[in-house]
Amino acid sequence: MTTQDPITGEMETTWQTYARVWAEIVPLSAREFIAASAEQSEVRGRITIRRRADVNASHRAVHRGMAYDILGVLADPVSGLEYQTLPVSEGVKVA
């Protein structure tokens, strides 16, 4: 949700809990790189959840205080109805 700060007038993005679900979280790789003269790190992984029609890449997943940006939603390869895999990135916002 985007709101405007009443004092500064700056637009701020805030997050609200949308749903709580069971999930498997698997880190796949980690890399460090230099971006804008600042050392940063990025962790990529995947989260597997039961299929939900209302999950998309504009959402994020939070587990134990760690936020993961959802990069896409992949249906299961057999029926497309059982579960979905969410490729995720943590650390650096991926456009």
Task: Report how far residue 50's alpha carbon sits from residue 45's, in angstroms, rounded to the nearest whole number.
Answer: 17
48 compared with 17, residue with greater pLDDT: 48
Q: How is residue 27 written in tokens?
A: 């880190």
Of 68, 27, 71, 62, nearest in space to 46 by CA? 27
Predicted TM-score (pTM) of the model is: 0.73
Task: Report how far residue 63's alpha carbon sits from residue 95's, in angstroms, rounded to the nearest whole number.
Answer: 21
Mean of the per-residue pLDDT values for the chain? 84
| Predicted confidence (pLDDT) at residue 92 exceeds the cutoff of 80 | no
Task: Report how far residue 83's alpha carbon sits from residue 66's, in angstroms, rounded to the nearest whole number.
Answer: 22
Say what the pLDDT of residue 74 is.
95
Domain boundaries, the chain: 22-90
Q: Which residues contact 6 (CB under 8 A, 6 or more apart)?
A: none
Q: What is the pLDDT of residues 38-66, one digit of tens each?
A: 666 677 899 999 999 999 999 999 888 88
